[in-house]
Every structure is written in structure tokens, then in C-alpha cells.
Structure 1
């Protein structure tokens, strides 16, 4: 009886060792794949500069023109060309060293300034009289009188007030472009003469330091200057657009 019991225990041990877990069936739907944008891939991808034999066929990636080749900048990563004036922000001089286009650089794109914050950014004072004109009839007659006597008094040219943009939507667009450019460069708007600590002090702003003397504003020019500043405080800015 002993051999039979030992054989039964050996068989039970053998079957317990050979017992395995049943394989799991593959799921019907594969796990979702995460995709990355081409801009993210280009930022992290390793690159190598491949010299071309001929760069005469390079065109601007923005305007599609190959003219003004002396103003074309070649990206050191993607080897695409861009005109200095077609870039945003505009490149005013040829960069020293390596240069990367906006798609290959690590700089974040400039966010447009919201129009709801333009009034607070420029500290615009709301005008109660909507029918108020930017230039009074007296100023218009004064301008016509000045233009008639301009030939006789060439050395007595006076300041003229600017003509603001009449379309309110266009005016907000222009001021929004300026606000976007200032915030992107971490600059604050100021309509007053500002003296920075590392620049020339206020004591250097004297007439005796000017070559040939400093011309003093006349009463009429002072009124024109104050009139322009008053228009700017009301949000009646001159026609301009900051390309950024």
C-alpha cells in the first residue's frame, strides 16, 4: 500500500507543477496612440547641417519671392529662407552666429493682446462728448494760415497735430498690435519722459549741452503738443500698426 500512496502523491505533485494560467485573449481595440505636432518634433529632433551646392533657388517661405537675396536669412535647422522684413518680429540686422526661424526656435508665439484690456493698458480716459472733434475749426483755420505763409517763414515751421484713425475697429486693432509688441518685449507703456537708472540722468537734459543751443517751444507749438497728448489719452491714436 505504501508504494501506491507514494505514486499518487508524486502524480499529484507532477500535475500541480505543470498547471499554468490560461492565456488572456487580446483586447479587441488597441490602446489609443498619442500624436505630437510637427512643431514639437522639430524642437526636440536632432539635426545636421547639409550644405547645398546652389542657393540661387532659395525663396522666402512667407512671401514666396526670391528677390532681395541680400535680405534672405537661412535657418540653421530647417534650411528655409525668410526675408528680414517678412519675419515677425522684423529682423533689423543680420544676426551674428546661428539663427533659427520661428518654427525651429524655442520662443513661444506672441499672443495677441485682448481688446478688452487695451483701455486699461494705455490708461485711456473715456470721453463723455462723442461728438467732439479731434481738431477744432480754429486749428483748421490756423493750419491753412500757416500753409499760406510757409514760403515766407521757412525757419518758423510749427508743429501740426496728427490725424487719428476714425474707424473705431481699426483703431483698436492698431493699439492692440502695439500692446502685443510691448508685452512681448516686457516693456511698459508710458506717455511721459522716463529716465532709466542706467541711462542719462535728468540733469543731462539741459539746453547748454545741446550743440547750437536748444530751441524753446512757442506757445502755439505747446498747445499743439498738449492737444495731441489729450487725443492720445482719449484713445484717438495716430495711424500706425506694429508688425510683430
Structure 2
């Protein structure tokens, strides 16, 4: 019994010794991270986009446009330059006091003006341009109104009736891509989708509500020949042959449209597009680009076009100050509501010959005289 117990005791001592000598050492704790150096306020201010610095007294603030300090309740103070602007002196005008911070057009112009340029493929995808590769398909893409218009042109001139003209797109494809690129950049900056049609969404006005027969006093009916011209313009836009117009950014007027080539009188420029809704649902809407579509005998059935989420280049054409002679002289196009096959449509048409580089303006009021244009440039 003793030899066995002796052997067992020796084995236990060896195991215990092996366990003690081979135990891993505890790793030394990592060194404490060095304390972060706090940046100086001057370094932070150099890299900051802007800082709001409150004044003790704002009694000397005046509007940068009209140079008047009256109507202090309508003065908006820029959170970047701390300058004041009347809400009605801004372009476009501001209907309500913005919620949160607000930056004037001059301070935000650099950021909005440098919108990223879109590539050719993105422009084609953005406008959903139809790709026609074969000659046979190209011929099918062309509107049948082209040949009809040529046959009836002599008859139109003999009757001396003023017909609407289709726009003439730029011959250079690169120039057309540039024109569409400016529109795509402006729509992207406003988080909008391109649409050349009236959109009817659930919860808003249905398409059945847009009937010209509901118009109080009747609506001007677009002739058959002019409807063909309108469809011809729509077919050209689908092929990527856009009107010769550029969307440019102005520090005072915001986004605006100018002619990129000569445009003849009575040329169709664009059709106003966007979401269709009842006016009663938009009474407190602060969108500055809503367009009257239908003024019904029953006011609850009147409709407006709201281009805040979907729209086209018509959304960026500015209005005139129709309270001054100089403002009225700037008008070179008009916005007309037509009965097109029983449906209300809004079309922008040139009212005189427009030179290249000239900006487009029309009267926002028309016959209603409800839009406050006396503060327009």
C-alpha cells in the first residue's frame, strides 16, 4: 500500500507543480488612452458652415430688397448673414414664416447653383426618353401630325388664322442634353420627379373631376389642329427633343428659365404638369407654384395643379409685376387654360418673338387677380 500511495503523492506533486509553473501570466492592462485635445473655438468657427449670433437689438434691420424697415412682422432674418428680407420681397415670395432655420437666396445660392451635373445616361433615364435604334422604329416614333401639318399649312395661311406652333428643338444633340441637364439638376435640387402629365393620386382629386364642362362661364376649346400640334410637341419630348430652354439660378429670382435659341410667337413652350387636387384641400398650402386648373361653378369642385413633387420646366418660369409698366413689358409668354377633348389643360405659349438669352415671364394672375405680384422684380 505504501509504494502505491507514495507514487500517487509524487504524481500529485508533479501535476501541481506543472500546473503552477505553466499557468499563463495575466496580460498587462493596456495603457490608458491619451486624453483628447479639445479644439479651440476659433478652429471650430473656421470650419463651421455658419453660426447664429444673436444681437441685442434688431430695431435697425431693414429689407435688403426694398430698403424699408416697415412691417417688421414680415421680416425674415437670414441665419447666416443676419440680413433681413420681407417675405413678399423674396423671389419666389414666402407665404408663411419658415419653421426652423432660414437662409436667404444669396447665402444659399452657391450651394444650389453648384448642383452636380448629370451624365448622358442619367439624363436619358431621368426623362424616360424612348430609345429608337433602327430606322424603322424611328419612323414609327415620329408623330403622324408632322405630315398632316405640312399638308394643312397652306390652308392655315390662306385662312389667316393664328395657329399654335410646335417648338423647334436644337439641332445639336449635345446642346439638347445640356438643356435637359439643367432641368434635371433643378428638379433634383428641389427633390422633385420629372413629369409631363397631370397626376391623379389617391386621396386627392380624381381624373373624373377634371372636366371642362364644370368651368364657370365655359372654357376656351383647343382646335383640332392645335391639339395635333400639342401632341407633336409631346412626342418630340418623349424622343428627347426638348424645347430650346435652359434652367438657370439667379440669386434674386431663384431658379428661372431663359431661351437657348430664338423662339417664334405663338410657339408652345410647355404644358403645366403636377399633382391635381381640390382648391379646398390647398387653402393653407405654402407652395408658391400652384396653378389654377378648373374654376368650377361649385367652388368645392375647383382644381389646382401642385408641382411640389412632380413637374416639368413650366414650374420654373417666373411671373411679372403686373402693377408697373416695366413689369408688364417683361411678359413674353402667357398661360392659357384650354378644353382639350373635354379635359382641362394648362399650356404656356409665347406671346411674341423671344430672343436667345431672354428670360421667360408670364402674368401669374391672368384674369383672377388673386396673386400678390406687386412685390415682384
**Counterpart among 112, 119, 124 of residue 116 in structure 2:** 112
Partner in structure 1 of residue 82 of structure 2: 79
Matched, 1:146 2:153: no
Q: Is the 8 A contact 1:42 1:104 kept in 2?
A: no
Q: How does the TM-score come out when normalised to structure 2? A: 0.39
> CA offsets per residue over residues 138-167 of structure 1, 9 Å max, x none?
6357446534533xx5xxx53321122223
Matched, 1:158 2:159: no
> CA offsets per residue over residues 59-103 of structure 1, 9 Å max, x none?
xxxxxxx8x658x9863541357899xxxxx83114644742368
Partner in structure 2 of residue 203 of structure 1: 208
> CA offsets per residue over residues 192-227 of structure 1, 9 Å max, x none?
331133432112122331223455554423322221
Q: How does the TM-score come out when normalised to structure 1? A: 0.56
**Cα distance change on mapping 1:81 and 1:240 into 2, 3 Å:** farther
Structure with more of its chain in strand, by fraction = 2
**Counterpart among 218, 225, 242 of residue 220 in structure 1:** 225
Partner in structure 2 of residue 181 of structure 1: 186
Query: How many pairs does the alignment contain?
Result: 188
Q: 1: distance between equivalents of 2:197 and 2:152?
A: 27
Secondary structure of the 1:242 match is: strand
Matched, 1:41 2:48: yes
Partner in structure 2 of residue 22 of structure 1: none
Q: Higher relative CO (CA 8 A, sep ≥ 6), structure 1 or 2?
A: 1
Q: 1: distance between equivalents of 2:44 and 2:123?
A: 35
Q: 2: distance between equivalents of 1:54 and 1:209?
A: 49
Q: Is the 8 A contact 1:165 1:239 kept in 2?
A: yes
- Where in structure 1 are there 5+ consecutive unaligned residues? 1-32, 59-65, 85-89
Q: 2: distance between equivalents of 1:96 and 1:215?
A: 34
Structure (1 or 2) with the larger CA radius of gyration: 1
Supply the RMSD in Å over aligned alpha carbons: 4.4
